[in-house]
Structure 1
Amino acid sequence: MNLSETCARYLKAAGIGTVFGYPGDPSVGFLEACRTEGIEFVLARREGTAGLMAEAAGMLTGRPGVCLSTLGPGSTNLVNAVANAWLDRVPMLALSGQIDTARAPIFTHQVVDQRAIFVPVSKWAADLAPNTVGTVLRKAHRTAVAPRPGPVHLTMHADHVTAEAEDDRIQLPPTETAGQVLIHSGTLPEARIAAARRPLILFGISAMQSEAGPEIVALAERIGAAIVAGPMAKGTVDEAHPRFAGTLDMACQGLMWDVMRSADLVICAGFDAVELIKPWSVSAPVIHIDQLPNTDQIYAAETEIVGSIGPMLAALADAVPAAPGWPERALADHRAALQTAFDAGRVGGVLNPSDVIRVARDVLPADSIASTDVGSHKLLVGQGWRPQGTRRFLMTNGLSSMGFSLPAAIAAKHLMPDETVICFTGDGGLAMVQSELRLAASLKLGLKVLVFVDNSLNRIELKQMARQVPSTGTVIEETALAPLAESMGCHAIMAEDETALADALAADPGDVPLVIGARIDPAQYAAQF
């Protein structure tokens, strides 16, 4: 086999059937190897969105999403998506072409030092060479999925792409860690939990990736804990559970931090501080339970338990006495206050942002896969949407890169065509990636793209308002959304009120995307944030 054939066969053996990318001269041999191995290549409209599609694939499957770029401007365009996966803790293999090895040290046209560029935003960056390709792929795969998951960047030089591979052995590494490793420091957790009267479990990305929802619920019911979600881990615990108290650092964040500060013990179960938007302001003692030690030190943990999250939580539930903990009546009152706060600032006679989420929640199937973009609407979606199960809510809250939602929804619908997929995005985020609507149409993806239309970069405009300065550089000129979508081969509907929005969301898009423009009054955002 040559180097590209080895790569394609490795990906196929690893259960990866799709590569998202934008090719160039150095990748022609790789594309042919993918074709002959039956690996699908999805041509995105730019490298950055291809990377976001690969990130979403990693979120959905737990396996590395794979993306491809060419050299020079192709690889630099890919950087943002790789950084997104880096801070969102998502496994990814990002491949970029490069000039041939003889010219790489001296030539300048379209040549950048790709390793130097990608090292700060990836877990590892390396070259694929004929004499090491099998070993490098195995290390890249293991590195990408190991806690904390993240991206690996691999460079393929033009003279290596079709060169005979000396190291062509396809051997997959184990991708799960068995057993448990305990690290105790400070007070023993059993004693601290037994003494707590208002314990709270805050769970995050690693708990979601570990499918630790049942163990979180069992421990919460045993000790009477409130349960709070990190936004990227939504769906790990059923939000209808009477002990669920909401999502941290999204809309209504004042109430959420109040309930956090009311706890006399916080158990951080697979919670990654990268999900925090506000500084940690809880004085109660913290027990850290994760696959990695608490090296971030965003919060100080008096006790750390490092190992398999689910078994650790189960062991604690077996070891501690049952206790009433937080009264369910108090948690019910908190949830009622949270709902009131979620609707705060509604303006009569217009379509409000919270109305859009409520209508979508009422009309769409409860088990829909949802993606959300970055902006004011994300904070409301992050609190108000209620995913049914893990890996059904796609959000970037690490790097929080605008333009994420549409590529993520495209990947979701492409990989899971029988699922209902809803993309929440703002008009600013859509403007960054709207050319991908044509790709979605060509792939015959009947997803729904719900656009919050307010002609503004609202998050920045609100900050200008808070400083009592004029809105500058935050206006998005009105786009005729329906003709735009139709020019891309999509269907489109504009909705001015709740009835029209409900009808649009209930419509069958067929085998092309349905773009729904929800013209909102952004005044509610000012009351919310």
Structure 2
Amino acid sequence: MGNTAALVAEHVRASGARFVFAYPGDPIIELMEAMRALDVEVVLGSREGTAVFMAEAHAMVTGRPGVCLSTLGPGSTSIVNGVAAATWDRVPLLAISGQIDAGREDLVTHQVVDHKLLFSPVAKWAGRIHPRSVDAVLRKALRLAVAERPGAVHLTGSAETFAAPAPDVAVKSPPLDGASGGVRVQRAAGGPDPAALLRAARRPVLLAGAAATRCDATEALTRLAESGGFPVVVSPMAKGVFPEDHPLFAGVLDMACNQVLWDFLADSDLVVAAGFDPVELIRPWSLAVPVLHVDTTPNVDQVYPSDCEVVGDVSASLDWLAHGLRGEPRWRERDIAAHRERLRAAYYSGRVPGRLNPTDVIDVVRAAAPPETVVTCDVGSHKLLVGQGWRARRPRSVLMSNGLSSMGFGLPGAVGAQLALGDVPVVALVGDGGFAMAATELRLAAARQLPLTVVVFVDGSLNRIELKQRALGYPGTATRLDDIDLVALAGSMGCDGVRVSSVAELEKATAGLGAPTGPLLIEARIEPAQYEAQF
């Protein structure tokens, strides 16, 4: 009979995890040793808050639960933001925190935080590990993390618990494939038949979201779009679920050039919301256009009204809707092409000739990066341009926090993704504010010689907030960032670094992007005037 820590570690390994991300403490020593004994590598982050982002990004690229560990007290409070991010970003995550022994928890105050109260508002479940129920608790935690809609689960365990003997059971993981099953139609009284509604529409638009990615709906989405000539708009966290070089691709909602996208949707006569999750909306839904809700869950948010819903696996639902579609394409190719040209013009508006503009950085890095490159993006003005302008060709290739939209995700997210992907190139596109929150993770990247590239958009400002202050006629308060020599900082942590302030310099710096020998930091000194024109 093994101890409780060993049984927890067996469940983690059976879930497919080969890395857990942690910052250690006394109560989880036994658990970390159990992970090591099963060849589950415990990766030390610079702090708990970055370790949990690594776990989230690892889950984003693999589709399997990411795992992070923290100690009690400040260790547990430090992962709250990352747990919330996973829940709002709809990413499966198992977070385990140490705690004082149960017999003293109600009497001792030093470093004792009530984890049930702390994590219940930001996780799908906050549970406790106990030797007698550990098998059921881990099965529930993992199944709940991947169940629609996915999110974070938090478990608490003490040193006493982890060292205690556990029942001798054969570990078997529950299904961890997320959405699956058949298709069912739900209609309001007198509501239309969804297939008939789509057949009758003359200018329908497909709006694909993160659930389409989780359901591997790329082929079904492409078949439906091509069968009816339907343009496809995607949400930011679904980038790549529909190839962005396809002539029917019509842009990314609620990123840069936002009004162009909303005008395009308003000009349709039906929006097919295919796995679209309103958690990504920045602007309130104000369309008068009918919506056909196609998702893994019913339309419980009611952000938009929908008289009929197709509930189930998004891929199967789209194939069901495509069956029997006949006739000429609903949209004229020239109308979609004209929209794409308007979107392109809006995207490049505000460029300053002769300077390094944010869109220049995106274009140059995208051109230099191999097709299979995975990009992580932090939060800030640059994210809105990356979300619209980075051309994604496959799902799970653009990783961002766009549910909670938490700064500090980009660099640790790139580390977590790179560990999962091995030799696949990973590029982090981060602002100087978000980079400052996680900069020390460069040391981890250097120690492991991870072949990732970190591009920092340097403008010395928390630009999104500064622009809003300016719009209100206020001076910039607490939004200016002190200048840092990022090249020297990178060198101090064992990374290569280069500073660029022109397109030519950036092209030279990214010439070897396809075959990096270790982590590279590019300090891109940009002209921020384009942000003001855009936003």
TM class by smaller structure: over 0.9
Q: Deviations over 1:118-145 (max 9, x none)?
A: 0111111100110000110001111011
Q: Deviations over 1:85-107 (max 9, x none)?
A: 00000000000000011111111
Matches within 5 A, 1:369-380: 369-380=374-385
Deviation at residue 324 of structure 1 after TM alignment: 1.9
**Unpaired segments of 5 or more residues in structure 2?**
none
Aligned residue for 1:33? 34
Whether the aligned pair in 2 keeps the contact of 1:131 and 1:167 (CA below 8 Å) is: no
Whether the aligned pair in 2 keeps the contact of 1:367 and 1:387 (CA below 8 Å) is: no
Aligned residue for 1:245? 250
2:526 matched to 1:520? yes
Matches within 5 A, 1:126-525: 126-166=127-167, 168-176=169-177, 178-185=180-187, 186-507=191-512, 510-525=516-531
Secondary structure of the residue that 1:183 maps to in structure 2? Answer: strand
Larger mean Cα displacement after TM superposition, 135-144 or 164-173: 164-173
1 CA distance for matches of 2:226 and 2:451?
40
Secondary structure of the residue that 1:120 maps to in structure 2? Answer: coil
Amino acid at match of 2:195: E
Distance 1:215 1:277, change over 3 A: same
2 CA distance for matches of 1:414 and 1:486?
22
Amino acid at match of 1:7: V
2 CA distance for matches of 1:110 and 1:167?
33
Q: Deviations over 1:301-341 (max 9, x none)?
A: 12101011111111111133334211111110111111111
Q: Deviations over 1:35-81 (max 9, x none)?
A: 11111010001101000000001101111000000000000000000
Deviation at residue 380 of structure 1 after TM alignment: 0.2
2 CA distance for matches of 1:178 and 1:265?
26
Amino acid at match of 1:325: R
Amino acid at match of 1:520: I
Whether the aligned pair in 1 keeps the contact of 2:432 and 2:460 (CA below 8 Å) is: yes
Q: Deviations over 1:126-177 (max 9, x none)?
A: 0011000011000111101111111100101121011101364412112345
Whether the aligned pair in 1 keeps the contact of 2:5 and 2:162 (CA below 8 Å) is: yes
Secondary structure of the residue that 1:184 maps to in structure 2? Answer: strand
Amino acid at match of 1:326: W
Whether the aligned pair in 2 keeps the contact of 1:261 and 1:281 (CA below 8 Å) is: no
Whether the aligned pair in 2 keeps the contact of 1:464 and 1:471 (CA below 8 Å) is: yes
2:54 matched to 1:53? yes
2 CA distance for matches of 1:87 and 1:37?
31
Whether the aligned pair in 2 keeps the contact of 1:481 and 1:517 (CA below 8 Å) is: yes
Q: Deviations over 1:210-246 (max 9, x none)?
A: 1101111211222221100001000111111111100
1 CA distance for matches of 2:199 and 2:88?
35
Secondary structure of the residue that 2:105 maps to in structure 1? Answer: coil
Whether the aligned pair in 1 keeps the contact of 2:15 and 2:65 (CA below 8 Å) is: no
2 CA distance for matches of 1:285 and 1:408?
37
Larger mean Cα displacement after TM superposition, 490-499 or 159-168: 159-168
**Residue correspondences, number:** 529
1 CA distance for matches of 2:434 and 2:296?
34
Which TM-score applies when normalising by structure 2? 0.97
1 CA distance for matches of 2:68 and 2:137?
17
2 CA distance for matches of 1:161 and 1:468?
57
Whether the aligned pair in 2 keeps the contact of 1:26 and 1:158 (CA below 8 Å) is: yes
1 CA distance for matches of 2:80 and 2:235?
26
2 CA distance for matches of 1:425 and 1:241?
27
2 CA distance for matches of 1:439 and 1:360?
23
Q: Deviations over 1:445-473 (max 9, x none)?
A: 12100000000000001101111211111
Whether the aligned pair in 2 keeps the contact of 1:134 and 1:167 (CA below 8 Å) is: no
Secondary structure of the residue that 1:456 maps to in structure 2? Answer: coil
Deviation at residue 287 of structure 1 after TM alignment: 0.5
1 CA distance for matches of 2:512 and 2:270?
47
Whether the aligned pair in 2 keeps the contact of 1:135 and 1:167 (CA below 8 Å) is: no
Amino acid at match of 2:105: A
Secondary structure of the residue that 2:523 maps to in structure 1? Answer: strand
Aligned-pair identity (%): 51
Secondary structure of the residue that 2:375 maps to in structure 1? Answer: strand
Whether the aligned pair in 1 keeps the contact of 2:451 and 2:518 (CA below 8 Å) is: yes
Deviation at residue 21 of structure 1 after TM alignment: 0.7
Q: 4+ runs of 1 displaced by more than 6 Å?
A: none
2 CA distance for matches of 1:14 and 1:432?
31
Q: Deviations over 1:414-468 (max 9, x none)?
A: 2212111110001000001111111111111121000000000000011011112
Aligned residue for 2:6? 5
Whether the aligned pair in 1 keeps the contact of 2:30 and 2:159 (CA below 8 Å) is: no
**TM-align CA RMSD:** 1.1
Q: Deviations over 1:343-395 (max 9, x none)?
A: 10001121011111111111111221000000000000000001221111101
2 CA distance for matches of 1:178 and 1:95?
27
Whether the aligned pair in 2 keeps the contact of 1:130 and 1:160 (CA below 8 Å) is: yes
Whether the aligned pair in 2 keeps the contact of 1:133 and 1:168 (CA below 8 Å) is: no
Which TM-score applies when normalising by structure 1? 0.98
2 CA distance for matches of 1:244 and 1:371?
21
Amino acid at match of 1:45: S
